[in-house]
Structure 1
Amino acid sequence: MDFKDFVDKIEPMTCIISVEKLADGSYGNIRLAAGNKAYIDSIENPQHMSSSSMLHNKFIPGSPYEKYIPKDLNFEAACVQCAIQKKPYHTYIHPDRYNFWISMYMMPLASDDPNIGYCSYTQELTYDKSDDRMADLSADISSAVLKTTLKLKGAKDFKINMEQVVSEIRQICKADRCCVFLTDFKERKCSVLAKSVNEEIEVAELEYIINTKYKDFFSIVETWPATIAGSTCIIIKNSRDMEVLKERNPVWHESLVNDGVTSLVLFPLEYNEETLGYIWVANFEVENAMMIKEVLELTTQLIASEIANYQLVDKLKVMSSIDMLTGAYNRNAMNNRVDWMIKSNGKNSETLGVVFADLNGLKQRNDTEGHTAGDKLLKDAAEILKNEFPDGEIYRAGGDEFMIIDWESSCGELEKHVEKLRKDAEDLKNVSFAIGFCFEEGECDIRRAMRTADERMYADKESYYARFPERRRK
């Protein structure tokens, strides 16, 4: 077949790919045998691409594909499936190394050489994602994606939903393990959001691997973007792929081998150009690698969107209940807690301790040293209260006023904490509080306890200013 004549009759960007078949059943070089004008222009005059997107800007028929794009195991797997296994292939992806989406169409071609397989490769580029193309899936893949999507919206509890999704994905992949990691690259932290493990195998808990087995597991996680190398994911199917991984990332390769991983799928979970985490599938059914890839390419977008929504709602909850300066609960949270206690008629506990602690000297600190110093004083005060009342709920009730609700401490323990704070305040170098507390047993009334503690606090404050009149507010 005259491949050049063949591709010149096709208008979209098209080339012919050859794949070398080796005697052991594996494959060798993958080459670009021919290309039409549109495809050659995409290499030699890539105005639609970033300047670094092509490795070599002169198209030479028969050159290894790595001259034009970085080595990509996913691309190689698609070429092998089409040229060697004679299965057509189509996908719609957005590799990180490009600023556009690619719709790929690959069709097997006849070959006169038993040691070489051929396929055509046609691509269409779009700068904006097309939902219609995303939905253009085979029946099997559509069914798998639909089942996973339904799991996302199953129970009301987000984490339960994610556990069900991860379990479904593990079963689709027929894998030993599946896990969703959350990552925070700014804080260099990662955590397990959801996991599923085949009950028939014995493996170390992922939490143990992350938190105990490795001193700094995030040092491995932060190598994953470079290892993905601008592709959409990593798929390791066999020892050959493992050798490629070993060259790229020897530390991670060693950790996988030590943990008994022989095949692997790793997809980033990205939302609004931010990596929220990764989904990790180990020891899967490699014969269905390309189907698994297509399922996860769409599913991971849905998962990432759900995670982003969950994190946003969680952040809003924190903002509505936490004082951003001190880290204590804010007045809104305090009012909600008091309302809940009133509605429960004091039945939530047999004892109740309420402490009001008003920070002394804040205005003087603000006036003499500035509001930055005043903010530090407030933060120090909140930290002291958290340490002194470890079983209590610490609320910032107002500008310089804190309230503690404690259901665990006895009256004697509560009084001991209060007296320690008062004694510490005798040293003018220490943070000083005016404090009042109330302890109730039996039928506890939160409003009565708050009123009593508040009155005692003001009496304590008057006593404090009588001793240190220069600190009185003016």
Structure 2
Amino acid sequence: MGVPGFDEKLRLSSRLVQELYHKYNFNMYDDIPYGYAVLKVIETGDDEGEAFFIYANSAFLSMTDNADVDVKGRSYREVMGYLSSNVYTHLCSAAHCKEKAVFFDNVRKDGPWFDMMAFGTLQDGYCAMTLFDTFSINGNSIENEDLAEADRVIVKTSKMIHSKDDEFDINIHRALRFIGDCLKCEKSYIIEYYHGQPIIRYEWQKDENIMDDDFAPELVMERIRYVEPLICEGQILIFEDIEKIRNESMPLYELLRSKGTRSMILAPYYIDSSIVGYFIIDNYNEKNIRVVKYLAETLAITFFAEIHSRRLVEKLTFMGIHDQLTNVNNRNAFNLRIQELEGMDCSVGIAYADVNGLKMINDELGHDSGDARIIKIASILSRVFLRRDVFRVGGDEFVVIVPDISKEEFETKIEYLKKISKQLENEESSSAADISMSYSLGSIWSDTCFELDALLKKADEYMYEEKKKYYKKVGHSR
């Protein structure tokens, strides 16, 4: 994996390293009890950058299995064999933006996990990196078989899930990888029921370059179909060795064996006594079954509680900015759009649309018929413009706000909407009341959003002028 202008094994000049080494007297860090290193970070705007060691103390070298290795001037990837995007991102932020970062990751692929800190030092482009072995995981296995150690795994997993709210899916994947490292397993994944069918929501496997068909929907369903009858309510299922189930369930044995599964942990998650999903680990290598059972049970609750909480928040957020009748944006979303665009130097097209004769429709045909017309208008607006740009701001009133649109494109769409309204007006209702359907439209375009309130008011006025013309034509006021 190369860096433009850098070979992976390229070293910083020994002269530069020596000058910095003597200038900043790094010897003072030699005896501190935690890992400390100084790096020069090359930023490329993606994950392909590199970092070069200026200094690393003995604790850092020992913790990363580089004792007695001279790393000065050598690249991070050359020394560690791996530079994760997470570590590189934090190093870049520290070196080039002087942002302090505290995070949890492994310095080598499949290697030990550490609490880490990165912060700016020396000058622009350089940062310090510290490693704290507060959580002892060595060789991907839990050294201390006491349950207190398992608790620390759970705490770390929970912190990892919450590390960045806007990267929830990435956080879940990192947490699954962490659990995989702890138990030295080959796969860890989360299954959820969706419309009665089990599907893989999140998955991790040790060799992520292999496309494994174990996650194909039909195979997931087949595995669950064989496993569910073996589950006792409130209990997890542990197969230390699938050879032991050969006589009990030959179909399940053959299915697991055909996919290379030698051992498996399956922890169900319940809501109101019904299974809604599973946390599954394949081919683990932790011998303390007490620890395995405790981890699987607790992590299943942790993962699903977070997933369901996230889903509830997303649902409530959606409901808060969407109209339940038409499924377009509501007035809350309209107000947010105004706040976002106010004062921006970009073009904007605004249109107000209002259903004609809605009161008569409700009186003569009923409110269900009136709602059907409101839904139809919302559908028309969403087909001509994007649904995200359509807002229902009143009973029968809609606003379209489209940023970054040319005048020609906007006016073409408005003319098309007017054409549709004419067609609707000429269509006779199936009711004996013979009430036609149409809408009044007022629009305006501007090359800036500096006077957004005035633009909205003007478009609204144009719409009411059209509505007056309509009512004058049909001979009634509403």
* Pairwise same-fold verdict (TM > 0.5): yes
What code does the residue aligned with 1:399 have? G
Q: 3-state SS of the aligned residue for 1:285?
A: coil
Contact 1:352 1:440 in 2 (8 A): yes
- Cross-structure match for 1:150: 159
- Cross-structure match for 1:3: none
Structure 2 Cα separation of the partners of residues 459 and 222 of structure 1: 64
Of the candidates 421, 424, 433, which is equivalent to residue 420 of structure 2? Answer: 424
Contact 1:353 1:406 in 2 (8 A): yes
Contact 1:180 1:280 in 2 (8 A): yes
- Cross-structure match for 2:98: none
Contact 1:437 1:456 in 2 (8 A): yes
1:60-99 mapped onto 2 (5 Å cutoff): none
Of the candidates 166, 169, 193, which is equivalent to residue 183 of structure 1? Answer: 193
- Cross-structure match for 1:381: 377
TM-score w.r.t. the length of structure 1 is 0.59
Contact 2:191 2:198 in 1 (8 A): no
Structure 2 Cα separation of the partners of residues 223 and 388 of structure 1: 49
Structure 2 Cα separation of the partners of residues 396 and 174 of structure 1: 53
Structure 1 Cα separation of the partners of residues 274 and 199 of structure 2: 15
Which deviates more from structure 2 when the two are superposed, residues 140-149 or residues 355-364?
A: 140-149
- Cross-structure match for 1:71: none
- Cross-structure match for 1:400: 396
Of the candidates 451, 462, 468, which is equivalent to residue 445 of structure 1? Answer: 451
- Cross-structure match for 2:176: 166
Q: 3-state SS of the aligned residue for 1:203?
A: coil
Structure 2 Cα separation of the partners of residues 290 and 276 of structure 1: 25
Structure 2 Cα separation of the partners of residues 352 and 224 of structure 1: 57
1:163-312 mapped onto 2 (5 Å cutoff): 163-185=173-195, 190=199, 192=201, 194-199=202-207, 202-204=210-212, 209-210=216-217, 225-226=228-229, 228=231, 230=233, 232-240=235-243, 243=246, 254=255, 260-271=260-271, 273=273, 275-285=275-285, 287-288=287-288, 290-312=290-312
Compute the displacement of 1:315 (Å).
Answer: 2.2
Compute the displacement of 1:262 (Å).
Answer: 4.5
Q: Unpaired runs of 5+ in structure 1?
A: 1-136
Higher relative contact order (CA 8 A, sep 6+): 1
Q: Unpaired runs of 5+ in structure 2?
A: 1-145, 428-435
Query: What RMSD over aligned residues (CA atoms) do the two structures have, in Å?
Result: 3.4
What code does the residue aligned with 2:304 have? A
Structure 1 Cα separation of the partners of residues 244 and 195 of structure 2: 27
What code does the residue aligned with 2:195 have? F
Compute the displacement of 1:402 (Å).
Answer: 0.8
- Cross-structure match for 1:14: none
Compute the displacement of 1:222 (Å).
Answer: 7.8
Q: What is the aligned length?
A: 322
Structure 1 Cα separation of the partners of residues 227 and 375 of structure 2: 38
Whether 1:467 and 2:473 are equivalent positions in the alignment is yes
Offset from partner CA, 1:370-397 (integer Å, 9 cap, x none): 2222222222222221111127511111
Offset from partner CA, 1:378-422 (integer Å, 9 cap, x none): 222222211111275111111101111112532222222222222
Structure 2 Cα separation of the partners of residues 402 and 189 of structure 1: 40
Closer, same or farther in 2 for the Cα pair 1:181/1:355, shift >3 Å? Answer: farther
Offset from partner CA, 1:310-343 (integer Å, 9 cap, x none): 223222212211111111111111112212322x
- Cross-structure match for 2:33: none
Structure 1 Cα separation of the partners of residues 252 and 394 of structure 2: 53
Contact 2:154 2:299 in 1 (8 A): yes
Closer, same or farther in 2 for the Cα pair 1:257/1:375, shift >3 Å? Answer: farther
Contact 1:422 1:432 in 2 (8 A): no
What code does the residue aligned with 1:461 have? K
Closer, same or farther in 2 for the Cα pair 1:384/1:202, shift >3 Å? Answer: same
Contact 1:237 1:263 in 2 (8 A): yes
Structure 1 Cα separation of the partners of residues 440 and 223 of structure 2: 50
Structure 1 Cα separation of the partners of residues 198 and 315 of structure 2: 17
Compute the displacement of 1:191 (Å).
Answer: 6.0
Structure 2 Cα separation of the partners of residues 464 and 142 of structure 1: 71
- Cross-structure match for 2:99: none
4+ long deviations beyond 6 Å = 216-224
Offset from partner CA, 1:85-128 (integer Å, 9 cap, x none): xxxxxxxxxxxxxxxxxxxxxxxxxxxxxxxxxxxxxxxxxxxx
Q: 3-state SS of the aligned residue for 1:425?
A: helix
1:338-377 mapped onto 2 (5 Å cutoff): 338-342=338-342, 345-347=343-345, 350-377=346-373
Contact 2:265 2:282 in 1 (8 A): yes
TM-score w.r.t. the length of structure 2 is 0.58
What code does the residue aligned with 2:344 have? G
Percent of aligned pairs with the same amino acid: 25
Q: 3-state SS of the aligned residue for 2:422?
A: coil
Offset from partner CA, 1:288-327 (integer Å, 9 cap, x none): 5553222111222222322332223222212211111111
Structure 1 Cα separation of the partners of residues 472 and 171 of structure 2: 60
What code does the residue aligned with 1:406 have? V
Closer, same or farther in 2 for the Cα pair 1:226/1:454, shift >3 Å? Answer: farther
Compute the displacement of 1:358 (Å).
Answer: 1.0
Of the candidates 384, 405, 410, which is equivalent to residue 414 of structure 1? Answer: 410
